Each structure stands twice: as C-alpha cells, then as structure tokens.
Amino acid sequence: MPTPVLVILIAVAALVIFVFGFTYYAYSVSFKRKRRPIDLVKDLGIEIAGGVDLKGLADELRKLPFEEVKITSHDGLTLVGRYYSVEKGAPVHILCHGYNSSPVHDFCASVDMNLEAGHNVLLIYQRAHGRSEGRSLTFGYKESRDVSSWVDYIIEREGDGVEILLAGVSMGAATVIIASALDLPSNVKCVVADCPYSTAKEEIMLTAKRMGFPPRLVYPFVRLGGAIFAGFDPDLASPVEAARASKLPVLLIHGEEDSFVPKYMSDAIYAAHTGVMEYHVFEGADHGMSCLVDPERYHAICAEFASRYIGRAKAEMPNTANTTENK
C-alpha cells in the first residue's frame, strides 16, 4: 500500500503535469506558429464585382513584379515583406495581414487600388507567418514593434519626407492600432483598421467558448502559456487601450455580420478613441469581407480618407472627438 506521503506526491506530480500540459496546449492553439503553405488563399465561395473570385485576384497579385525585402526585428528575427514600387519617394502603404493568414490572401483585392493612386505598397509577413521567422505570434503586441521597424526601413529607403499609411485586417488591424500608440516618426500620417478585436483577451475567451471550453477557466492557462512560451502577456495586446493613447487619425471598418470578431469590438475601440476616428459598418459582411461585399464603397471610403492625410500639403489635424459612425 502506498503511504499517504507518496499519494500526495503522486497527486502533486499529476497536477503539475496537467497544468504544464494544458498550458502548452493553450499556447499551441493560441500563439504557436502554424505550418501551412505560404500565401495560401482560402476558397471563400464569394464572387466579387465582375465575377472575379478571391483566388483569381490572388493569382493576379502574384503576377505583379515586387521586391522581396527583409529587416531584423527588435528581438533578432528576420522579417520579410513584398515591396511594390511605383515611384521613388511616393507615399507608402504598409499592410498587415491577419491571424494565421497571409498578405496575398488578405490584400489581393486592395493592392491595385493603392498602386493606381501612385502609392508604393509594402505587404509584410507578420512574425511567425509565411516567409518571416518566429515561432510565436503575439496578437499585435510584438508585431506593433515590428511595424515600427518597418516604418524605419521605409524612411531609410524612400527618404525623410516619405509619407506612410498603416493598414491591417483582423489581427493586422489590431497591430496597427497598437502601433499607433507608439512613438512613431511623423512620417506616419494615418491608420486604416479593418475588423480589429478590442483586446486579445476578449477574442481568446470568445474563441475558447466557441471551442467548448469555459473561457474564464481556460484564459489563465492561455496567459501563462503566452508568458512561458511566447514571452509576452496577452493582457497587454489591447487595441482599446492603444486607441486611448493614439494621436493618429484612424479609419475603422467592420462587417456587421462578423462571426469571428464581432462588431461590438470595434464599437468599443471607437468609444475609447479620443482623437480623430471615422467608423464605417458594412451590412451583410462577415469577417474581413467588407472589401468583397461592396468593393466600390470600400475603395471609395479608403481613398477619400487617405487623400486627407497623404499626398498633398495638409494642415495639422486637431485632436477632436470621434466623428460620427457611418453605415
């Protein structure tokens, strides 16, 4: 018969093994790099104006000439981007893709719009995605510092007077909002954020609920996994908090039928932002689909917003209250 002390030791060991094992599982599901084909484009079953599907647009984007560019992140990772150059010194759009996605997938319907406006485009592979190094993503926390490094690269490449717009979809949208609260160079003029989550914590807990886990019990394991294996605290990946500190004009876009990052998360960001923010909602659009559901309206909104801050002499923008929401 085992002694009481041995029983206690076995129980403690079993508990430690469970906690460590479930913590690593939570990290793997939430933050660990997923091995998948680079530039994979999902078949969404959606036709865009003119009958062009997403894969067709991605094929067209792949045909465009680009330069593969690289930088080193603040923590030593090699980060890779696709640079589409129209003219030396022209404004540059830095585009950040979403969670476990790719720049070719997320921006194949919008790159042409920027190039036709005479702007250069940098599609970045976020850390732990595609051609960039890294074993862990961080829901925009470390990625925002990566964006700051890409900004420095663009200024060095294009000159001190270059104007820069930051844009992103989903986790990329969260990334650029968090980046907007950093001490960025004045070259960065504005931000476009399409379907961001309010906080990493809220999105992770919502996903846990969808997977059948009790969110409040699971999240501490996710947070511990982030700290141990990804080197960050998920609580710090908060676009809502960044929106309170951001001094850049922000264009916020969200699909009303978003089933992955609900619209109320953008509502929270809109309510928190104390500077200049314009908010547009697209009826009938699921997650990241606003550009495909109504491309004409989407492109017109983005072009008009960018024209206010990029490409011509502009007066200093006042730090006023949020603008009204538009549908």
Which is higher by pLDDT, 232 or 311?
Answer: 232
**CB 163 within 8 Å of CB 220:** no
319 pLDDT band (50/70/90 cuts)? very low
Grade residue 315 by pLDDT with cuts at 50, 70 and 90: very low
The answer on pLDDT for 323 being more than 80 is: no
- CA angle 48/51/56 to nearest 5° reads 80
Q: What does the pLDDT read at residue 43?
A: 60
Contacts of 191 (CB under 8 A, 6+ apart): 165, 166, 167, 176, 177, 179, 180, 246, 248, 249, 250, 251
Query: What is the share, in percent, of the chain residues with pLDDT greater than 90?
Result: 75
**251 with 177: CB under 8 angstroms?**
no
| Dihedral Cα 61, 36, 125, 240, nearest 10 deg | 110
Position 52 scores a pLDDT of 57
- Quick one: pLDDT at residue 1? 62
State pLDDT tens for residues 21-43.
999 999 999 999 998 777 777 66
Range 39-199+237-326: architecture per CATH: 3-Layer(aba) Sandwich (3.40)
Compute the residue count for the chain: 327
Strand boundaries in 66-153, DSSP class E: 67-72, 78-84, 92-96, 120-124
Q: If you write DSSP's letter for every residue of 159-172 in order, what string do you get?
A: -TT--EEEEEETHH
**H helix runs in the chain, sequence order:** 4-30, 54-63, 103-107, 111-116, 141-158, 171-179, 200-210, 215-225, 239-245, 263-272, 290-293, 295-309
Average pLDDT over residues 205-209: 96
Higher pLDDT among residues 59 and 197, named by residue: 197
For the chain, domain boundaries: 1-30+201-236, 39-199+237-326
Give CA–CA dist 137/119, Å, rounded: 29
- What does DSSP assign to residue 40? -
Residue 309 has pLDDT above 50, yes or no: yes
Alpha helices in 103-249 (DSSP H): 103-107, 111-116, 141-158, 171-179, 200-210, 215-225, 239-245
Cα dist from 194 to 43, 102, 175, whole Å: 20, 15, 11
The per-residue pLDDT for range 276-286, each reduced to its tens digit, is 999 999 999 99
What pLDDT does 94 receive? 98
Residue 178 in contact with residue 141, Cβ under 8 Å?
yes
Q: Which pLDDT band holds residue 19 (cuts at 50, 70, 90)? A: confident
* Residue 46: per-residue pLDDT: 52
Q: Please report the DSSP string for 145-161 in residue order.
A: HHHHHHHHHHHHHH-TT
pLDDT digits (tens, 9 = 90+) for 139-189: 999 999 999 999 999 999 999 999 999 999 999 999 999 999 999 999 999
Residue 122 has pLDDT above 50, yes or no: yes
Which has the higher per-residue pLDDT, 26 or 60?
26
> What is the pLDDT at residue 111?
93
- Mean of the per-residue pLDDT values of the chain: 90
Q: Are 79 and 103 in contact (CB under 8 A)?
A: no
> pLDDT at position 15, please?
74
Question: Residue 92 above 90 pLDDT?
Answer: yes
User: Can you list the pairs that 150-153 forms with residues at least 24 positions away whose Cβ atoms lie under 8 Å?
Assistant: 150/71, 150/79, 150/81, 150/94, 150/122, 150/124, 151/94, 151/184, 151/185, 151/187, 151/188, 152/185, 153/69, 153/71
Read off the pLDDT of each residue in 280-295 and give the average, rounded to a whole number.
Answer: 92
